[in-house]
Structure 1
């Protein structure tokens, strides 16, 4: 399921997003640990150690959170990825001057319809990751609420939340 929801194009977009956010106040030593984590991805303990060092050097920095989220997500450590997704939503809310509770965010609160605007997109992708992980972890109603919020604030569905909605609609139906 992750392959359908997080396509190579979204991977490129996430990488560009992370790179753009990397330049905004990230200490060079933290950036070094992020790169080392990516180079040692196949060595779980080593990669996670580098990520933890980056967190220690730049706690709450968007680029560090994105790196940590991706590590946990692709290692199928979904509960940990969910915790980081919550931190990403919080950080994105702060960066966009949005309400701290994503449920209170409205379409006019940020330029959600402008895909090229990095900070609103960071919020959208964070909420999409949160929705997906909630669904995977059996919290389908919470996932549904997050998907509905995504479609409310991004009605043109630039990030592909309808895919999650279709998954929710098919749950419980027999495979054809």
Structure 2
């Protein structure tokens, strides 16, 4: 993906920082080099929120959740200090209700929801539940991923109507049958599209027609796509894919691992 300077024209940062961000994006495939440019941009931008948000997304999609978590916490700290926000949740909730349209408050809540989301990915489930439950209480329009994450962490997948008819046989669906290749990965993506697009109740038929693709790598791909969907605001799609991944993982004997990762 090639990024131009025009796409960053609204960033309130120096031209050399913009250049670093552009070079990092254009070297996306070279992770070591891209990380180097992102870190240099962070060092030069003096806690600029636009740069921090961009860096958060970069590390999130590079599957570096620990770094993304630290950046989310930094965003929270900067906004809290700038806006003089209280640490106590009940006081903060009142402030949010009084400043519904305030962009800084909305960004704070999104960063807080992101923190809960990443904690869930890292297996810190109790803290993730607490954060996502809090955000869920005030996120009436489901603008963040918090509601979906909270539902996934607290609801049994067996109760999901769309998955209630799934019944797989473990001796048919092998845990790992074929090494992951780019071609096979594209087949996983196509199968996910077919599952999302099929009429309600026909998911078992779609899976049955693609038995050779159902393995541990497919479950992992489901989780990756679900993660991206939740982070981009497609809560219903993310919820369905996560429940599907958990159901398949139970049949494959992977369920304990997946609970920890989700």
Q: Which runs of 5+ in 1 are unaligned?
A: 1-15
Q: Which runs of 5+ in 2 are unaligned?
A: 1-6, 159-245, 249-262
Q: Offset at 1:19? A: 7.5
Contact 1:140 1:168 in 2 (8 A): yes
User: Larger Cα Rg: Structure 1 or Structure 2?
Assistant: 2
Say which SS state the counterpart of residue 247 (structure 2) adopts.
coil
Given the two structures, how large is their TM-score scaled by the length of structure 1?
Answer: 0.73
Supply the distance in 2 between the matched residues of 1:72 and 1:171 (Cα, whole angstroms): 30
1:95/1:171 CA distance change after superposition, 3 Å: farther
Q: Does 1:30 align with 2:102?
A: no
Question: Paired residue for 2:72?
Answer: 85
Q: Offset at 1:135? A: 0.6
**C-alpha distance after superposition, 1:4-30 (max 9, x if no partner):** xxxxxxxxxxxx9x976x23xx22221
Supply the distance in 1 between the matched residues of 2:49 and 2:9 (Cα, whole angstroms): 10
1:91/1:153 CA distance change after superposition, 3 Å: farther
Q: Does 1:175 align with 2:250?
A: no
RCO greater where, 1 or 2, for CA within 8 Å and sep 6 or more?
1
Question: Paired residue for 2:241?
Answer: none
Decide which moves more: 38-47 or 147-156: 147-156
Contact 1:19 1:63 in 2 (8 A): no
Question: Paired residue for 1:8?
Answer: none
**C-alpha distance after superposition, 1:113-162 (max 9, x if no partner):** 43xx4322211221111001111111111111111221234344332421
Q: Does 1:108 align with 2:180?
A: no
Aligned residues: 154
Q: Offset at 1:104? A: 5.6
Alignment map for 1:18-167 (pairs within 5 Å):
22-23=11-12, 26-99=13-86, 101=87, 103=89, 105-110=91-96, 113-114=100-101, 117-167=102-152
1:171/1:56 CA distance change after superposition, 3 Å: farther
**C-alpha distance after superposition, 1:11-55 (max 9, x if no partner):** xxxxx9x976x23xx222212212221221111122111111111
Say which SS state the counterpart of residue 41 (structure 2) adopts.
helix
Supply the distance in 1 between the matched residues of 2:88 and 2:61 (Cα, whole angstroms): 24
Q: Offset at 1:79? A: 1.4
Supply the distance in 2 between the matched residues of 1:69 and 1:126 (Cα, whole angstroms): 10
Supply the distance in 2 between the matched residues of 1:38 and 1:108 (Cα, whole angstroms): 39
Contact 2:114 2:145 in 1 (8 A): no
Contact 1:113 1:154 in 2 (8 A): no
